[in-house]
């Protein structure tokens, strides 16, 4: 069964430093997609970055990059030059397509705190 594991309940980082949030996934599909979302204290879900299983290069979006290691089934999010506004919950998710359906499977999340 498809599953997302985020092993870090909480992470702390100093402002302006880089931080890596871990995500491992389990799937038997050959074609899949991985997402990272940010959820600030206000509660909305903000899309950060997407990695397709066939993408040869790691995805990047501004200060966000995805360290995709297909053989290890990991899709870690790297945030460079952390800012105070990066303090939030971060969720890794995988798209599950099956029998004409399509749904996101989420991990439990990592709470990131950026210290001044």
Partner 1 sequence: NAGVMQNPRHLVRRRGQEARLRCSPMKGHSHVYWYRQLPEEGLKFMVYLQKENIIDESGMPKERFSAEFPKEGPSILRIQQVVRGDSAAYFCASSDFSGTSGREPYEQYFGPGTRLTVT
> Contacts with partner 1 in 4-63 (CB under 8 A)?
4, 31, 33, 35, 37, 43-45, 47, 50, 52-54
* Integer Cα distance of 7 and 23 in angstroms: 7
Rule CB under 8 A: is residue 100 a binding residue for partner 1?
yes
Each residue of 76-102: b (16+ CB within 10 Å) or e? bbbbeebeeebbbbbbbbbbbeeeeee
- Residue among 8 and 53 whose Cβ is closer to partner 1: 53
**What's the closest the beta carbon of residue 89 comes to partner 1, in angstroms?**
9
Chain-centroid distance, C-alpha 5: 10
- Residue among 51 and 116 whose Cβ is closer to partner 1: 51
Strand, helix or coil at 84? helix
User: Under the rule (CB under 8 A), what is the footprint of partner 1?
Assistant: 4, 31, 33, 35, 37, 43-45, 47, 50, 52-54, 91, 93, 95, 97, 99-109
């Amino acid at each position: 069964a498809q599953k997302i594991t985020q092993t870090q309940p909480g992470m702390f980082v100093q402002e302006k430093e880089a931080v890596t949030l871990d995500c491992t996934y389990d799937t038997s599909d050959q074609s899949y997609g991985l997402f990272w979302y940010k959820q600030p204290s206000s509660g909305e879900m903000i899309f950060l970055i997407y990695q397709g299983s066939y993408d040869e290069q790691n995805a990047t979006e501004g200060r966000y990059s995805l360290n995709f290691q297909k053989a290890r089934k990991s899709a870690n999010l790297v945030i460079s030059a952390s800012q105070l506004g990066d303090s939030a919950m971060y969720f890794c998710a995988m798209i599950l397509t099956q029998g004409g359906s399509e749904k996101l499977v989420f991990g439990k999340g990592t709470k990131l705190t950026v210290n001044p």
